[in-house]
Amino acid sequence: MTHQRFFRRPLLPNICCTLVALVLCALASTPARAQDEDDERVTVESNLVRLNVGVADSRGRAVTNLTRGDFSVFEDGVPQTILNFETTEQPFSLVLLLDMSGSTLSFRTQLKQAAMRFIDALSPADRVSVVSFWTEMKEQKRTVKPVDHIETLTDFTNSRAKIAFAIEQARGGGDTNLYKALRHALGALRQEGTRRKAIVVLTDGIDSDVRKQDRAASIAAKTADEAISSIKPDANPTLAAVLNAADAQGVTIYPLALPSGNLKRLADRATLSITPNKGTPSEEMKRLTEPTPQQAAIYASARARLDTLAARTGGRLHEINRLEDMARIYAEVAAEMRTLYTIAYQSAGSRPRDGQWRAIKIQVARPELIARTRPGYYAR
């Protein structure tokens, strides 16, 4: 018995140590391999350029019967190999962003009815997430601070009943946090994998944070032209961050610009709010109702950025001049989305991702047809 205890006790720790070592090696190697695979997948996906492409004939009518062989893609003039091609019938994942700031309070019923019409015009297989956004000013510890509200009213679904209920539940008031809402939408779309992606955003474009930056940049300007030239709207880093994130996933953005973001409407509202005294000189009335240089710059820059969001992502800016046109414009956007092809390619050669601009050009085999997509991307 003494000898058995002498030999068996040392063996158990040795066996346990060996087993533990083997398990630790396995655990260490498996995550490493998984991490390597993840790194490789992320690298490949990040180099994949996805384009939503619309094609029209000389009369502007959409052409939806083309095949992969009808398209040629060029990046900085270099032909690219199309790795993936999706016809116009393939479904989208899209985020419907609803601006619930105070500027939309007076026409919420029209807004929701128009959004419903948009949903009805989509393909039955399209997946939709409804998101509302606004900024509320709240007093916290004797200080008034902005509180952002970005509410996902429904996750991605193709249930029209769920989408309609979500639209009806949209509430809000206060200021506009447009670019934070766009970043939220892009983050949500990332979970939708390789599906075709789009954002449709109804807004006046006057983002509260960016407005402060624009006012500070134009504070010394004496005229509207001076104020506008002092801002350089496309150089805004907040806008750039959204565009880069959209580029990475190939997301097309369709801004629907509300009349409240129109500078002329601002002057009209000022005129209506003033009751002039009898005999008030016209020069005085003009001074009282004309937007300040800073206001002119803020509104002009906000509209320019909406145009850039559309142009850089291959979408289109739709200006709503009359509220009664809103439903029709929503339906037009839905119809346009159903005419888009999607093309994916990986940039040819060993060019470094140096942050430089890469110009994209699409050619169609039939020369009478015109293809439209985003103009390029920054290789980050």
Encode pLDDT of 183-204 as tens digits: 999 999 999 999 999 999 999 9
pLDDT of residue 141: 76
pLDDT at 39 over 90: no
pTM over 0.85? The answer is no
pLDDT score recorded for residue 275: 53
Contact (Cβ atoms closer than 8 angstroms) between residue 189 and residue 246: no
pLDDT number for residue 353: 80
What are the sequence ranges of the domains in the chain?
48-83+356-378, 92-337
pLDDT tier, 349 (very low <50, low <70, confident <90, very high otherwise): low
Q: What is the pLDDT of residue 183?
A: 98
Mean confidence (pLDDT) of the chain: 84
pLDDT at position 30 over 60:
no
pLDDT at 350 > cutoff 70: no
Comparison of pLDDT for 42 and 377, the residue scoring more = 377
The pLDDT-based confidence of 380 (bands split at 50, 70, 90) is: confident
**Average of per-residue pLDDT across 117-141:** 91
Residue 26's pLDDT band (boundaries 50, 70, 90)? very low
Q: How far apart are alpha carbons 293 and 289 in whole angstroms?
A: 12
Assign domain 92-337 to a CATH class. alpha beta
pLDDT at position 55 over 50: yes
**pLDDT higher than 60, residue 352:** yes
Where residue 291 falls among pLDDT bands split at 50, 70, 90? confident
Name every residue whose Cβ is closer than 8 Å to that of residue 197 and which is 6 or more positions away in sequence.
92, 93, 94, 189, 249, 250, 251, 252
pLDDT value for 327 = 93
With a cut of 80, say whether residue 345 has pLDDT above it.
yes
Name the percent of the chain lying above pLDDT 90: 69
Alpha-carbon distance of 338 to 252, in angstroms, equals 13
